[in-house]
Amino acid sequence: MRWIRTLSGIGAIVAFAVALNLIIFNEDITVMVLRALGAAVLLGIVWLVLYLFSLLGRSAKDSVPYGLNAVIASIAVLSIAVTLYAYVKRMDVSWDLTQEGRQELSSQTRLVLQSLTEPVEAYCVFVKSADSSVVLAQEKTQRFLERCQQYTDHLSITVLDPQKDPLQTEALDVLRVKNVGTVVLKSGDRKKEIPLTKVTSRLEERDFTNVLINVSRKEVQKVYFLDGHGGRNIDDEEIELGGHLLKENVLMRESYEVAKLLITSELPAVPEDCSVLFINGYQEDLKQYELDALDQYIEDGGRLLCLIEPSIRDASVPTEERLRPWLENRFGIEVYEDLIVSPLMQGVDVAFVSDFTIPQLEGFEDKAPNAMEFRGSYHSTHPITRTLDDIKMEMSQVRTVALAEILPEGVVGTTLLRTTPDTWGETDIAGLVEGKTPAPDGYERRGPNPVAVAVTVKTDRATMSGSRSRDGRVVVIGDADFVSNKNMGISYNTDLILNTVAWLTENADLIAIRPRTGEPVLSLS
């Protein structure tokens, strides 16, 4: 009898230790964890009962004081185990034990869930399996969706077995049910699948959020890229120069439609379905009829995003510039012909490949009158940058983009990003090409240098409701390399461009730090 009692006591301790380790290993409270805790409680009860029986054989003198203390201690330990089991069984929270913070929903996911106004149905089409890894992936997926339900009353969850519920599965028109299964999100007549495999292991938050945005939005917004000026090609897969990841892995995954636009002299207009017109760098300046089309587009409440790289111009060849003067005269946006450099750089070579990092700095002291508006290099309250906290954004070949001291009538502007105080805008770009060491001159703009601005333009264009006018919006950033295929693997560069597009399209629920995954958007070998 004594050896049974000893084994049951040891077994209770071992089972409890296994339960705690499973919580850490699985990053969640799973069925296996509950089974281990249940075994610990059961073995603890067996040990306690056998121990109480053993006390009956002892003399009253020896057993009462010792036995009473032991019984009290045993009951206390057992009560703690039972209470812990009941708490874990019923609790609706979990610990964040992963490097990416998968257990805590990102701010964007919460905003999207809270903004839902129509019902969204989540169907978990799970394949029954004896494989513990498959069961674990399905349990994690279901718990993730249950966590999402805490932020909205419009999300319902249904678990289907394709073998037991073939009619419902067929009605969903599910295409990819293999390995683990698939999750189908449906809202009205919009439906999209998220297939699960042993490789992905479970439903990733980024995939869920992107699909949720896709199925919950009735209106699909379209981003046009201005073509014909030698800007970055959104269909080019080349690492350094191409831009297809911005199109396919960023904008389209966020449920934007993407297309190219060529404005011609025969049809000098921007399409009515254009939500944002994107100038992704340019080598040849715009024609006057194109600027006239852009001017009318903004006057109609349009939205424009310009990424303008520093340029190397041959002073002996006169060229007429149009875009930069138009931005300055129309919106008070001054695009300097310089290159921002810093003595902290490793050196600036002829290709200007040295990276320039825009950080969020603690103790960033600035005596400027508007210093309190910034948090390090980021504007602290503007929707585009207020969520970019404690991060670093990697850019190269950056030029100064500033707001004029006096803005045109009807224009309101904000400086979004600025450099550190040690920088300046080097205007002798030709000297840099020749290998000269840069040094700040008295007429050059000293840091902090603004590198991105946003303006709103008062127009007479009424909204669909007619209650107010639809303001035009323009954002100009003095760099285009940060959206190349190479740099779209940097998550915070992605956040900046998506926050900017979301602000331009007035999708406030998309302006946030987006959910991460353990994999980069772009992997370079």
State the pLDDT at residue 226. Answer: 96
State the pLDDT at residue 75. Answer: 57
Q: What residues have CB less than 8 Å from 274, skipping those under 6 apart? A: 222, 223, 224, 261, 297, 302
- Cis amide bond preceding 520, omega within 30: no
Query: What's the start-to-end Cα distance of the chain, in Å?
Result: 64
State the pLDDT at residue 402. Answer: 96
State the pLDDT at residue 34. Answer: 77
State the pLDDT at residue 273. Answer: 92
- The pTM score is 0.65
CA 149, chain centre distance (Å): 20
CA distances from 164 to 11, 33, 363, 500, 523 (A): 38, 27, 62, 47, 41
Angle CA(182)–CA(490)–CA(484) in degrees, nearest 5?
100
For 407, half-sphere exposure in the C-beta direction (CA atoms, 13 angstrom radius) is 17
- Using a 10 angstrom Cβ sphere, with 0-12 exposed, 13-18 middle and 19 or more buried, the burial of residue 59 is exposed
Residue ranges of the chain with per-residue pLDDT less than 70: 1-2, 5, 22-31, 55-103, 175-179, 197-202, 312-320, 344-372, 389-392, 462-469, 491, 508-525
Q: Are 237 and 244 in contact (CB under 8 A)?
A: yes
State the pLDDT at residue 463. Answer: 60
